[in-house]
Structure 1
Amino acid sequence: MLSFTYESLPARIKFGRGTIASLADAIEEVAGTRALLLSTPQQTEQAREATLPAEGQIVGHFDGATMHTPLGVTEQALDVLKQTGADCVISFGGGSTIGLGKALALRTGVPQIAIPTTYAGSEVTPILGETVDGRKTTQRSPKILPNVVIYDVEFTLSLPPALSGISGLNAIAHAVEGLYARDTNPLVQLMAEAAVRTLATSLPRIMAAPQDIEARSQALFGAWLCGTVLGSVGMALHHKLCHTLGGAFDLPHAETHSIVLPHALAFNAPMIPEAMAALRRALGTEDPAGALFNLGRTVGAPASLKALGMPEAGIQTAAEQAVKNPYWNPRPVEFEAIRTMVARAYAGERPVEG
């Protein structure tokens, strides 16, 4: 007999092609009149052009967002928010920009409108990861959740195929852990399995034909599902390791997730038979961890943490931090086993179950 708790997150989702035309209405929906636009330096011009439908409601642009949401950057953005008198924020971009919007909302209560241009999925989660002095910590709060998300598939067409693949693998990691989270439930498991299947099918199509609008739409839909899973349940060892590695060695977020994903899954596989069965269905294989490792090679993701610039001594550091205040995990988090797993990910070896 089923018994579970499921709480639906209260965000408004606008999904389709050309949905950016609704931006001005979205600002009104959150009771905003003076919006601060956020982006990374690399997306400055794209952000300004994309948000022209609401040009008259935008009073400033902070384009200093960066990965892992360092506290110093958030403080700079807070100054701009105060100087402009903005009463809402528009986060245009991937996880770095959306994370900055969340950090501002947490501190000031301003409503957020997120316009994702990658497959990160963080736009639909009440979760914020911040970095201070090389250590990344996460927190969860209703204040962190964006109020409106505008998914416009047009903005993903310019995402290079390699970045599309890495971003998509990052999203898949959320769904995979959602399948065996301590507080998972049947609705989350349905979304997670569908998300993995959708992204695993669409990402190779994008690599072959980057302008395939249907493949892009499916990938964006899959990313939304993955983010919804991440926002609905707690995470486990995979996310603990990635936060540790990202904060300690300033490794790129999505690439780190794509590398760690198959290894963390293989580590937990003996303890999660139902999740493995769902992944076998979603991926059409008896070896889900191996299939995810292969998908990484198909989409051109780096295979090793070494390739990202992590020092070999980081294997020991990551294992030590992973066993300190560990997230819940279906398999006990023991130092030697974690060290061995991180070493394989460092070297770019294939994942090994058990």
Structure 2
Amino acid sequence: MSWTHDTLGQRVRMATGTAAEALAEEVDRLGARRVMVVAGPAEASLAATVTAGLPVALRHDEVVMHVPVEVAERAREAATAAAVDAVVTVGGGSTTGLGKAVALTSGLPLLAVPTTYAGSEATDVWGLTEGAVKTTGSDLRVLPRTVVYDATLLTGLPRHLSVASGLNALAHCVDSLWAPRADPVNAALAGEGARALAAGLPAVAADPDDLRARELTIQGAYLAAVSFASAGSGLHHKICHVLGGRYDLPHAETHATVLPHVLALNAPQAPAADERLAAAFGSPTGLAGLQRLRAELDAPRALRDHGFREEDIPDAVAAVLPVVPPSNPTPVTTENLTALLRAVWEGADPS
């Protein structure tokens, strides 16, 4: 056996009910005196409360899904004009992604306060969309110096978004088991992340105010993201990046819908990964456990419900095939990828 594992250096705080105080302490640790706060309009009130104790020089609210290049450029220009010395994001994956875009070119320290289970805050992965093409990369400049989690900040997340975002986190676990840099360390993280998400998500869906369930789901999402940051993007993420960037599909819902189909394709050729997932779900197979969880959560089933058109399938296949990781357990062909995307489009059961 031969493998190399990279562990990213990051400070993480679980501060349920005390995010504002924890964030102020972390900003002070950095010595920042002119902070840029990135938060979309929907999170403006929440962000104002969380950042009340900070030396805010700029509040920026132009947050767009998939981080279009022109949106990133405007945020970078605003940061330069305001002479900020740190960036704080309060929001989901798109908000964190915009903060990363600023940090990528400026080198400014980034702190993240997540309000979903996206997991971007725990990775050094950035993504930008230009035209219909989403480009991703990794750079330590975009890894937040500190992440502050607060379960109370997620209680207002609508049930359907909690489900989709949580399944997006679960996709990090699954893809980490056969991604290009998969290793025993991130496999262990992925397995524990899947276990926590499988236990936490149904409880969150049943009672959005259950803070213990929120904390468990946050922990699962964080472990999932850490494993993904080490293992890299597998087939699932390659497919979803094409679908999201090319057809402007909603990020979390796309991941939630594609996931069981990729698992069904790969599990027969990845028995160790399947056994780990089955153990995490407490089920005979990984797919059986995932499908049971999805049924319990009433998870998204069909991408045609979110804007993906049947006539786009051949174009999507052609765009995905060149980026399929060589590490994928099952050889990916035009035929099986077409069948997979057609099933994703129509909401058929994975096979």
Query: What's the TM-score, normalizing by structure 1?
Result: 0.95
Amino acid at match of 2:37: L
Q: Which residue of the partner structure matches residue 172 of structure 1?
A: 170
Alpha-carbon distance between aligned partners in 2 of 1:294 and 1:107, rounded to the nearest angstrom: 43
CA contact (8 A) 1:293 1:350 kept: no
Matched, 1:4 2:3: yes
Q: Alignment partner for residue 322 of structure 1, among 300, 320, 323? A: 320
Match of 2:204 among 185, 206, 215: 206
Of 82, 90, 93, 1:92 maps to: 90
Corresponding residue of 2:118: 120
1:163 to 133, 153, 161: 161
Distance 1:204 1:154 in 2: 17
Does residue 52 of the first structure (1) align with residue 52 of the second (2)? yes
For residue 148 of structure 1, what is the aligned residue in structure 2?
A: 146
Conserved? CA contact 1:161–1:299, under 8 Å: no
Indicate conservation of the 8 Å contact 2:180/2:325, yes or no: no
Question: 1:1-354 maps to which residues of 2 (within 5 A)?
Answer: 3-17=2-16, 18-54=18-54, 57-328=55-326, 329-352=328-351
Aligned residues: 349
Post-superposition Cα deviations, 1:4-54, rounded to whole Å, max 9, x if no partner, equal 322211111111312431212211323321100001121112111221122
TM-score normalised by the chain length of structure 2: 0.96
The verdict on how the C-alpha distance between 1:325 and 1:161 changes in structure 2, with shifts beyond 3 A counting, is closer
Structure 1 unmatched ranges of 5 or more: none
Give yes or no for contact 2:179–2:325 (8 Å, CA) kept in 1.
no
Give unmatched runs, 5+ long, in structure 2: none
Distance 1:323 1:159 in 2: 35
Q: Distance in 1 between matches of 2:260 and 2:112?
A: 29
Q: Deviations over 1:67-121 (max 9, x none)?
A: 1011111111112112211111001001000000111100111110000011011
> Do 2:67 and 2:94's aligned partners in 1 also have CA atoms closer than 8 Å?
yes
CA deviation after TM superposition for structure 1 residue 301, in Å: 2.8
Task: Give the % identical residues.
Answer: 38
One-letter code aligned to 1:346: W
Once the two structures are TM-superposed, the CA of residue 289 in structure 1 deviates from its matched residue by 2.2
Output the CA distance in 1 between the equivalents of 2:27 and 2:59: 15
Equivalent-residue separation in structure 2 for 1:143 and 1:25 (angstroms)? 21
Q: Deviations over 1:267-299 (max 9, x none)?
A: 111211100000111111123224323433432
Question: CA offsets, 1:128-148, max 9 Å, x none?
Answer: 111001111110111121111
Moved over 6 A (4+): none
Deviation at 1:3, TM superposition (A): 4.0
Alpha-carbon distance between aligned partners in 1 of 2:40 and 2:27, rounded to the nearest angstrom: 21
Query: Partners in 1 of 2:345 and 2:285 — Cα distance?
Result: 21
For the Cα contact (< 8 Å) 2:133–2:245, is it kept in 1? yes
Q: Distance in 2 between matches of 1:180 and 1:324?
A: 18
SS at match of 1:323: helix
Q: CA deviation at 1:330?
A: 2.1
